[in-house]
Structure 1
Amino acid sequence: MKLTIERAALLRSLAHVQSVVERRNTIPVLSNVLLEASEGQLGLTATDMDLTIHETTPAMVQEAGATTVPAHTFYDIIRKLPDGSEVELALDGEKGQVRLRAGRSNFSLSTLPREDFPSTASVELPCRFTLQAGEAINLIDRTRFAISTEETRYYLNGIYLHAGTSNGVDVLRAVATDGHRLARFEMALPEGAGEMPGVIVPRKTVNELRKLIDEVEGGVEVALSETRVRFTFGSVELASKLIDGTFPDYERVIPSGNDKVMSVDCRSFASAVDRVSTISTEKSRAVKLALRDSALVLSATAPDAGSAEEEVPVHYEGPPLEIGFNSRYLLDIAQQIEGEGAEFTMADGASPTIVRDAADPSALYVLMPMRV
Structure 2
Amino acid sequence: MKISIERGPLSRAIGQAQSVVERRNTIPILANVLIEAEGDAVSFRATDLDIEVVDRVPAQVDQPGAVTVSAVLLHEIVRKLPEGALVQLSDDPTSGRLNVRAGRSSFQLATLPKEDFPVMASAEYGSNFTAPARDLRRLFDKSKFAISTEETRYYLNGVYLHVATGEDGPALRCVATDGHRLARVDAPLPEGAADMPGVIVPRKTVGELRKLLEDDEAEIAVSVSETKLRFATAEITLTSKVIDGTFPDYSRVIPTANTRRLEVDAAEFARAVDRVATVSSERSRAVKLVLEDDRLVLSVTAPDSGTAEEELAVAYADERLEIGFNAKYLLEIAGQVDRENAVFLFNAPGDPTLMREGGDPSAIYVVMPMRV
* TM-score above 0.5, yes or no: yes
Which amino acid in structure 2 is aligned with residue 268 of structure 1?
E
Hey, what's the Cα distance between the residues in 2 that align with 1:163 and 1:229?
15
Q: How does 1:40-79 map to 2 (within 5 A)?
A: 40-79=40-79
Go from structure 1 to structure 2 and tell me whether the alpha carbon gap of 1:168 and 1:360 turns closer, same or farther (over 3 Å shift). Answer: closer
Tell me how many residue pairs correspond in the alignment.
372
Post-superposition offset of 1:359: 3.9
Post-superposition offset of 1:68: 0.2
Give the conservation status (yes or no) of the 8 Å contact 2:291–2:322: yes
Give the conservation status (yes or no) of the 8 Å contact 2:132–2:216: no
* Segment drifting more, 122-131 vs 106-115: 122-131
CA shift digits 1:45-99 (9 cap, x unpaired): 0000000000110111111111100010011011111112111111111111111
Partner residue, 1:271: 271
Q: 1:235 aligned to 2:263?
A: no
Post-superposition offset of 1:126: 1.5
Post-superposition offset of 1:302: 0.5
Root-mean-square deviation (CA), in Å?
1.1
Q: How does 1:1-372 map to 2 (within 5 A)?
A: 1-167=1-167, 169-215=169-215, 217-372=217-372
Structure 1 portions without partners, runs of 5+: none
Hey, what's the Cα distance between the residues in 1 that align with 2:81 and 2:266?
46
Hey, what's the Cα distance between the residues in 1 that align with 2:314 and 2:84?
56
Hey, what's the Cα distance between the residues in 2 that align with 1:323 and 1:52?
45
Which amino acid in structure 2 is aligned with residue 90 of structure 1?
S
Q: Which secondary structure state, in structure 2, belongs to the residue aligned with residue 128 of structure 1?
A: strand
CA shift digits 1:180-238 (9 cap, x unpaired): 00000012211111111111000000011013322463201110101000000120000
Hey, what's the Cα distance between the residues in 2 that align with 1:11 and 1:167?
43
CA shift digits 1:123-154 (9 cap, x unpaired): 33120111111111111111001111111111
Hey, what's the Cα distance between the residues in 2 that align with 1:129 and 1:2?
37
CA shift digits 1:5-24 (9 cap, x unpaired): 11112111111121101111
Give the conservation status (yes or no) of the 8 Å contact 1:16–1:212: no
Q: Give TM-score scaled by structure 2 length.
A: 0.98
Hey, what's the Cα distance between the residues in 2 that align with 1:125 and 1:156?
24
Give the conservation status (yes or no) of the 8 Å contact 2:37–2:65: yes
Which amino acid in structure 2 is aligned with residue 348 of structure 1?
A
Post-superposition offset of 1:244: 0.2
Go from structure 1 to structure 2 and tell me whether the alpha carbon gap of 1:215 and 1:166 turns closer, same or farther (over 3 Å shift). Answer: closer
Which amino acid in structure 2 is aligned with residue 362 of structure 1?
S
Which amino acid in structure 2 is aligned with residue 59 of structure 1?
A
Hey, what's the Cα distance between the residues in 1 that align with 2:217 and 2:257?
42
Q: Which secondary structure state, in structure 2, belongs to the residue aligned with residue 119 of structure 1?
A: coil
Hey, what's the Cα distance between the residues in 2 that align with 1:90 and 1:198?
44
Q: Which secondary structure state, in structure 2, belongs to the residue aligned with residue 12 of structure 1?
A: helix
Q: Give TM-score scaled by structure 1 length.
A: 0.98
